[in-house]
Structure 1
Amino acid sequence: MGKGVFVISRTVGVLGIVLVAAGAATIIALSVVYAQEKSKNAEAVPPTPPATSTTTTRGPASTTPTPSNEPWDQYRLPDTLRPSTYNVMLWPRLTKNEHGLYVFTGHSTVDFKCVKDTDLILIHSNQLNLTQIDGHLATLTGLDGATAPAIRTTWLQGATHYLVIQLSDKLLAGKSYQLYTEFTGELADDLGGFYRSEYYEGSELKVLATTQMQPTDARKAFPCFDEPALKAVFYMTLIHDRNTVALANGMEIGTINTTQGEVEVSVTTFEPTPIMSTYLLAFVVCEYDFIRTPAGEKVLIRIWARPQAIAERQGDYALEKTGPILQFFENYYNAPYPLNKSDQIALPDFSAGAMENWGLITYRETALLYNNKTSSNGDKEWVATVIAHELAHMWFGNLVTMEWWNDLWLNEGFATYVSYLGADHAEPTWKLKELFVLSTVQGVFGVDALASSHPLSYPPGEINSPEQISELFDSITYSKGASVIRMLSEFLTEDVFKRGLSTYLNAFAYQNTVYKDLWKHLQDEVDKTPGLQLPGSIEEIMNRWILQMGFPVVSIDTTTGNISQKHFLIDPESVVDRPSVYNYEWYVPITWMKSGVVQAPVWLITKSADQSPMKTTDWVLVNLNIAGFYRVNYDQGNWERLLTQLNADHKVIPVINRAQIVDDAFNLARAKIVDTVLALRTTQYLSRETDYMPWESAVRSLGYYFLMFDRTEVYGSMQKYIKKQVGPLFKHFENITENWTKIPDGHNDQYNQVNAITVACKVGVEGCAELTLGWFKEWMKDPQNYSIHPNLKSTVYCNGIAAGGVDEWNFAWKAFKNTSSAAEADKLLYALSCTKIPWLLNRYLQYSLDPNMVRKQDAVFSIVYIAGNVIGQPLAWDFIRANWKFIFQSGGGGLSFGRLITGVTERFSTEFELKQLLDFKAEHADMGFGSATIALDQSIEKTKANIKWLEENKEKVDEWLTAAARQQ
């Protein structure tokens, strides 16, 4: 999500048809309405469990278990049973029953082996109504001659999501058994487990059933051992309406049409999956169309989407690029793709960007569909990199899986890194390996510089509950994980890295691993490589990067040749209360150049060291291409030499490092390591800069200043200075686009054109507002025929709505509701937040909680966008405080709660706002914050740092900006 060889023969697949067809009568018999199932359970209440436990018959999504030593009160399953095979049949109803509910019914068996003698079976089941069978919630039989003990009692343990089965005698180690359950569940719109998604085809509402199991929601679809290490083979059967198609991880084997009462249905069976984890399961029932690769290809690739999207050829780009990216990874991993098909499906409602389900990857529409009329180059890049990310998981994550969620970074960090390699292969002119630095490395530096950050890999015992697991799906896991893996590949060389990776994947295929297994295989390749000198083993080097949070700032003193390292904190006065056995020291790979000439790399493995070649009067630049995950500071003399070089001939310095100089300087200034004026001086050369990466770094760095000052008197002088710097860039793009009549050729130039217009309009460059408002007005006059280039739509829409009134907002809202393009909808979702009219912003906030107005998957984004508007920020914060209970309990998109808290509090910089934030935390302490818990603590820490920074820098910044704006 985001992210011994076992072979299943065709014969086994055919056998699966026989097994599941035999159960068809049973599943049809379960086709009672939801109310009847509830009544049946109410009439036969399961026995009361021991009094030490908290129980419900249909457990809540999150309940704190009563402290006890009972195994059913622990979040982790005992190590007594291991599943081998599931046989699951599900029937989703895509119309409401008489009680206004969408439901699904089903039954499943799981074959498992007893590893240790036990008289207790714990299996995950959450929000399922289990059917009573002979007075119990399950039946148990022995396999291969084993005798199953009688069931003594069963109950549902809501807090820990268990079906608990106590036996009259013990299961015996080495013996195999089968557990059977029947159940009913709600096909809710909560974006988790087996859920429903909706869209309109003309005026007709269409409903589809789909899944999102990661991390802990397979248990909402059927009872299962829902932990990543408990892999099994899954035989799936779906019953569905005749006019729908059914998809699952395996290729469909066949479909049988049948009738139950007056209901005509189809029964589709699928090839068994490879042995795999429950979180990778997927199944979809929908009325979609598809496009596919030609017959005869080794791997069948199909792109599924709404019929209109397929007819508009929005899936063509994904189909064109999936094959080459898949082939790239086969070569990169030196391992064939393990399946015979790769289905990719675009869903209208989806909480994540995409999910790497084996053989059936699910996506948000914006992550898979590309419409050349409405999608920008950024949208196209997003599609390419997300497809590459998910395909990377087919091996790293799916074939070889982390043992437990504490090592989630290994899955997601790796897939994030290599996604740029795969997408770069598919689009070699885009320079995606360079853009990785902006999108990933620099993006996560800010979070990892907080005292409330966290290590990449936790001790397994620290991560237990679903809420704790969900918290791990953050930028540290994805972006820092990717950054340190990229650093590892850089200092090993890519060839050594790939060889170690290949042996790792082949050795552990269809198994689970911990990070040390990867270190061992990489070390084996290092040991075989002559001339590759490292300061320690892979484990010694990398454990410092994954087992302790944060990263160092490396300081270079060119007057003495001394280099040193220190844990970098954006607020140096913050308290780091997480101990580290490595004392927050790292093994740091130092790459560098002197006056434009690349020098031999060195390592810094202690607090400080002498490096005599760096004692020089030439300028020195460290961390070439930002290959290492650290920031760099210099003595004042070297800073001055770098600034002189930038102002004299900036192109002597590599473009990535020009971006680095700006980004490092601003963040070092926030951390009180260098003076704020020094950071501001790195932007003076920008009036001569036309490359995207340095400008993007500057825009982001100055974005913090906008957040801190756009409610103060400093804002005026800031506008004047930035206007002076961006004016030449605006003129540059006006010239090369022939007075804005065409789009630049280069991918990065297209990005920078957007920067030029966006920043120029923000600070009042002459002609910018008239340009964008003119485009917007022309669009309003003739929306069917007048087209704004997709690259420019976001900034044009935003500026048009900001400059306009109610008519402009209503026009954009209507366009948002009527568009069939997810990319267009995303642009309008953002632009609607740009209005300066408070009551419109409040109306938009209210819409965000109504899924008929704003899809549940987009609600967080709309609120955060409104908070990004200086007028909307206090409205959004009041709205969150007033509605937190509803927002939190409504569930959908729970992994986005952290993004919501971070986005709404980003501007906080006063004692009053800090008190409000602390009061908010205290007020909702009993209910908790779920996956937003870490984000809330980080927001408090950031607010404290902002308060201090403003107190110390406001006057100084105002004076410098005023003077700099006056200079010719």
Structure 2
Amino acid sequence: MGKGYYISKHMATAAMVLAAIALVTIIALSVVYNREKSRNAAKFTNSTTSPVPPTPKTSNEPWDKYRLPDTLTPQYYNVTLWPRLVMNANGTYIFTGNSGVMFTCVKTTDLILIHSNKLNLTLFKGHHAKLTGVSGVTAPAIKTTWFQTETQYLVIQLEGKLKPGKSYWLYTELRGELADDLKGFYRSEYMEDGEKKIIAISQMQATYARKAFPCFDEPGMKAVFHITLIHDLGTTALSNSQEIKTENVQIDGTAVTRTIFEPTKRMSTYLVAFLVSDFTYISAADDKGVLVRIWARRKAIEDGQGDYALRITQPILEFFEKYYNTSYPLSKSDQIALPDFESGAMENWGLVTYRETALLYDPKTSANGNKQRIATVVSHELAHMWFGNLVTVKWWNDLWLNEGFASYVEYLGADHAEPTWNIKDQIILYDLQRAFSVDSLTSSHPLSRKEEEVNTPSEISEMFSTISYSKGAAVLKMLSEFLTEPVFAKGLSNYLNQFAFGSSVYSDLWDHLQKAVDQTPGLKLPYSVHEIMNRWILQMGFPVVTIDTRTGNVSQKHFLLEKDAVVDRKSEFNYEWFVPIKWMKRDQVQDQLWLLQKSAIHKPMKVSKSEWVLANLHVSGYFRVNYDLGNWERLLSQLESNHQVIPVVNRAQILDDAFNLARASIINITLALRTTKYLTHEREYIPWEAALRNLNYFFQLFGRSEVYGALQAYLKKQVKPLFEHFGTISSNWTTVPSGHTDQFTQIIALSLACSTGVEGCRELTKSWFKRWMQNHHVNVIHPNLRSTVYCDAIAAGGAEEWNFGWQMFQKATVAAEAVKLRSALACTKVPWLLNRYLQYTMNPEKIRKQDAASTIGYINSNIIGQPLAWDFFRANYFYFFKVYGTGSFTFSRLIGDITSRFSTPFELSQLKQFKKDNAEIGFGSGTQALQQAIEKTTAKIKWLAENKEPVLQWFTSESE
């Protein structure tokens, strides 16, 4: 699955756009939203009665456990579904159909458990299913059936026993709601040419296949799927495999189309996908006959918005075929852009689904960052066609293996498609440093958790986290670095070939990588792949490696953001790691060394006072680095005199490590601040982005204090040369640079210059926006700069500017443009506009459900909007929990956004009270995010007490 959040190229912040002003206290309107998602079950059943489940004698009954017993294994499914794209007399959209599954009995049992969630099944003589034997086998009669709501099972008790080695057929008839909840089999609505269109689409990961049809809904329970879709005349049906027959038929007096698809490959339920729409497509076929199609709304395809995705799909597929040394397993690759989709994208085998912003690119209105996002997301999802789909983890506790791997190799695939972008370095910003921020908390967790820790749907959803995606990517990158990429790829290929169409655990991958190591002459590791890597995936966190260049001593310690924090989670490795360290001495690269214990003397790292040491060269390892003060001083001197001697990604590393070491009270905060002084000479994107992310932390902490003014003045001085540089090379901002990342740096220059008051900046943005308001048919603002310009102009304006932005948002036909406007609308300084905007997030006619959480996050990033967003979220918590509480990233990200500015004892007490007040409702997939918010706020309070005064003094002295 796609990460759900991606590169925010235009700055660390809407907060930077807003000057510090007195906060306005507004009590958010209490809005009670009490819609029952499943509606009245009587609408969807042929019987008004249902067997009452027996009261469990103990909590140890099989149906009270979340994991399926090991008694049955599915072989294949026959699923026929008929979605109705017109509302019925009850005001509801429904789907009907039937489903059958052939399963084999592994162990003698008189009980069938099969997942079924929020689905109403037809009753057959008082039972929800029919059971027959296969190949002459006699099936026992069904004794009783019922739904076990908590564990989401259809429970079938039998009169007799199922026999090991024998196969049986379980048949059900379906009638359920085609809801708009973005889960299972759901509907999406959009407007085109003034007409409302309805499509039916699926999203099964992680536990939503059971909403569409009864199934053994665990990733290791693979089977073959025979899919048939019945749909309205004039619509098109798609599924995982190629259609083999399409015919127009009469069913119950209604003329419809029936599309039958080829049997799928053996695959997991969470990868099943189907779609009914009037979308159209563009296509191409590769040399091997694999059909590639890009599907979207007709107008989007006609406008050429799918062309870029089509152009890069084939090269990326070809790259992964070579990288994995395994042919693409299917005959076609459909990719479809959806108006409503909760995640960024989903890797359904053969039918990959995306948000429109992750697949559609319009050269006239999409920014360079939008293009990069499409390349990386497409690469991520196509990587899954092998790693995740062909070979799947047995259980969700190892989700990191799927998502971490795809998050790593997405950079390799995108680099192959766009070799001039040098995109591989950006993993440092968008995965490694992102993972560090979460993994430095005591509330973090290991990459691979124990199976018993991951049971409920909410616990499974929590696994779709920054740890699984970004730490997984960073750790696998480190593994690839010390094995070398060819050895890493060889081990992967052997692993994929052995477990093709099956499932595995992480140790299976270690086995094959170790075999590749053993077969490579000259490659020596200090320990086995198992012994090295288990320390990185079976315990949470990461080390800070400290190098004393006076003695050559190298040591490690578990890095925690709060210096006095206590880690409750025990580790068999006592939070020690086997650390591969690549390093350089002045401008000379040295031999890699391994730190294999708490501390060791490495004599080459003892250097003279004229030399400096830089460790974690090219940021190849997943650890932070600290030095003795003398070495820090020499590195700072090198940055000031000639920063280009130090590799670009290591300049970003120095900034990020220093700030976080200071936040953890390991080094002095003024030392960290001094790493930013050289930025007046820096023109590269990655160091600037790393710096702004850390300085954004200061905006959050000091946005309401006297430190803010001095901070603004200092940053104005630092960014002015960058602003003038881009003014010169862009002919006074009339063009954009040709370099890919230079375009991102230009955005930083404009955004930061305007927010800090650099002369001439706001005059530019206001004039551009005013010209657009005067003639809204002609937008002269370059797509790269629109997010910054829109935000700055709306922040400087009032209701007129906001209303114009809202009108343009409603008219936007390109998703990327709509996102820019939706974000910018949150920049206004007018409290009542922000409060009204918050209300819009509960109205899907104004803000789509998929966009509500991020919109609240945008408002929260505005210093005036933050208290409004917090009050609004608390007042409507039940609604947001019901709609998003079991989502993958959405709910946890929302909680993280809402609490990101908290830094006072009062805010901490509010946070704890919020946790207490809503304990009965629960926090679902946001449980861990809430604990992290409490931990982060506690750490900020302690840090501020010690560092506010020296920070104020430093910024004051440096801004003069």
What does the per-residue CA deviation read over 1:131-174, in whole Å, with 9 as the maximum and x for residues that have no partner?
A: 01122110000001211000000111111110000000000000
What does the per-residue CA deviation read over 1:688-733, in whole Å, with 9 as the maximum and x for residues that have no partner?
A: 1111111111111101001000110110111111111001000000
What does the per-residue CA deviation read over 1:906-934, in whole Å, with 9 as the maximum and x for residues that have no partner?
A: 11000000000000000000110000000
- 1:105 counterpart SS class: strand
Residue 794 of structure 1, aligned match among 779, 787, 804: 787
Note the C-alpha offset of 1:191: 0.4
Note the C-alpha offset of 1:361: 0.3
How many Å separate the matches in 2 of 1:458 and 1:649? 45
1:88 aligns to 2:79 (yes or no): yes
Residue 941 of structure 1, aligned match among 927, 932, 935: 935
Cα contact 1:553–1:567 (8 A) shared by 2: yes
1:526 aligns to 2:517 (yes or no): yes
Question: Where does structure 2 lack aligned partners over 5 or more consecutive residues?
Answer: 4-37
How many Å separate the matches in 2 of 1:868 and 1:385? 26
How many Å separate the matches in 2 of 1:211 and 1:128? 15
Cα contact 2:582–2:591 (8 A) shared by 1: yes
Give the residue type in structure 2 aligned to 1:837: V
Note the C-alpha offset of 1:949: 1.1
1:731-880 correspondence runs (5 A):
731-880=724-873
- 2:74 counterpart SS class: strand
Q: What residue number does 1:379 align with?
A: 370
Q: What residue number does 1:475 align with?
A: 466
Residue 624 of structure 1, aligned match among 617, 628, 631: 617
Note the C-alpha offset of 1:821: 0.5
1:45 aligns to 2:49 (yes or no): yes
Residue 598 of structure 2, aligned match among 597, 607, 610: 607
Residues 40, 837 of structure 1: CA spacing in aligned structure 2 closer, same or farther, 3 A cutoff?
Answer: closer
Q: What residue number does 2:704 align with?
A: 711
Residue 665 of structure 2, aligned match among 663, 672, 676: 672
Residue 915 of structure 1, aligned match among 884, 893, 909: 909
What does the per-residue CA deviation read over 1:472-517, in whole Å, with 9 as the maximum and x for residues that have no partner?
A: 1111100000000000000000010000000000011011100000
Residues 135, 92 of structure 1: CA spacing in aligned structure 2 closer, same or farther, 3 A cutoff?
Answer: same
Q: What residue number does 1:166 align with?
A: 157
Note the C-alpha offset of 1:574: 1.5
Q: What residue number does 2:399 align with?
A: 408
How many Å separate the matches in 1 of 2:922 and 2:40? 34
Cα contact 2:224–2:264 (8 A) shared by 1: yes
Residue 311 of structure 1, aligned match among 302, 306, 309: 302
Cα contact 1:420–1:433 (8 A) shared by 2: yes
How many Å separate the matches in 2 of 1:703 and 1:37? 49
How many Å separate the matches in 2 of 1:962 and 1:295? 62
How many Å separate the matches in 2 of 1:893 and 1:377? 33
How many Å separate the matches in 1 of 2:521 and 2:820? 53
Q: What residue number does 2:897 align with?
A: 903
Note the C-alpha offset of 1:90: 0.2
Cα contact 2:145–2:154 (8 A) shared by 1: yes
Q: What residue number does 1:954 align with?
A: 948
How many Å separate the matches in 1 of 2:56 and 2:548? 63
Note the C-alpha offset of 1:261: 4.6
How many Å separate the matches in 1 of 2:381 and 2:957? 50
Q: Which has the higher contact order (CA 8 A, sep 6+)?
A: 2
- 1:83 counterpart SS class: strand
How many Å separate the matches in 2 of 1:133 and 1:800? 64
How many Å separate the matches in 1 of 2:552 and 2:45? 76
- 2:643 counterpart SS class: helix
How many Å separate the matches in 1 of 2:325 and 2:392? 18
Cα contact 1:666–1:676 (8 A) shared by 2: yes
Q: What residue number does 2:690 align with?
A: 697
Give the stretch that moved more between structures: 890-899 or 250-259. Answer: 890-899
1:369 aligns to 2:360 (yes or no): yes
Give the residue type in structure 1 aligned to 2:630: G
1:307-706 correspondence runs (5 A):
307-617=298-608, 618-706=611-699
How many Å separate the matches in 2 of 1:666 and 1:274? 49
Note the C-alpha offset of 1:2: 2.3
Superposed CA RMSD in Å reads: 1.3
Note the C-alpha offset of 1:202: 1.8
Q: What residue number does 1:60 align with?
A: none
Q: Percent identity?
A: 62
Cα contact 2:390–2:502 (8 A) shared by 1: yes
1:104 aligns to 2:95 (yes or no): yes
- 1:346 counterpart SS class: strand
Question: Where does structure 1 lack aligned partners over 5 or more consecutive residues?
Answer: 4-33, 54-66
Give the stretch that moved more between structures: 566-575 or 318-327. Answer: 566-575
Give the residue type in structure 1 aligned to 2:354: Y
How many Å separate the matches in 1 of 2:43 and 2:887? 31
How many Å separate the matches in 2 of 1:36 and 1:589? 59
- 1:88 counterpart SS class: strand
Give the residue type in structure 2 aligned to 1:925: A
Note the C-alpha offset of 1:440: 1.0
1:2 aligns to 2:2 (yes or no): yes
How many Å separate the matches in 1 of 2:213 and 2:112? 16
Residues 421, 35 of structure 1: CA spacing in aligned structure 2 closer, same or farther, 3 A cutoff?
Answer: closer
Note the C-alpha offset of 1:297: 5.3
* Count of equivalent residues: 923
Q: What residue number does 1:63 align with?
A: none
Note the C-alpha offset of 1:892: 7.9
Cα contact 1:856–1:892 (8 A) shared by 2: no
Note the C-alpha offset of 1:609: 0.3
TM-score of the superposition, structure 2-length normalised? 0.95
Cα contact 2:83–2:200 (8 A) shared by 1: yes
Cα contact 1:37–1:184 (8 A) shared by 2: no
How many Å separate the matches in 1 of 2:893 and 2:576? 30
Cα contact 2:886–2:924 (8 A) shared by 1: no
Residues 937, 36 of structure 1: CA spacing in aligned structure 2 closer, same or farther, 3 A cutoff?
Answer: closer
How many Å separate the matches in 1 of 2:56 and 2:70? 22
- 2:197 counterpart SS class: strand
Give the residue type in structure 2 aligned to 1:844: Y
Cα contact 2:475–2:536 (8 A) shared by 1: yes
How many Å separate the matches in 2 of 1:873 and 1:583? 40
Note the C-alpha offset of 1:260: 3.2
Give the stretch that moved more between structures: 569-578 or 313-322. Answer: 569-578
Cα contact 2:457–2:886 (8 A) shared by 1: no
Residue 186 of structure 1, aligned match among 164, 177, 181: 177
Note the C-alpha offset of 1:36: 11
Cα contact 1:856–1:893 (8 A) shared by 2: no
How many Å separate the matches in 1 of 2:278 and 2:686? 43
How many Å separate the matches in 1 of 2:886 and 2:726? 39
- 2:420 counterpart SS class: helix
How many Å separate the matches in 2 of 1:40 and 1:593? 69
TM-score of the superposition, structure 1-length normalised? 0.94
What does the per-residue CA deviation read over 1:779-823, in whole Å, with 9 as the maximum and x for residues that have no partner?
A: 111121233111101000000100111010000101111111000
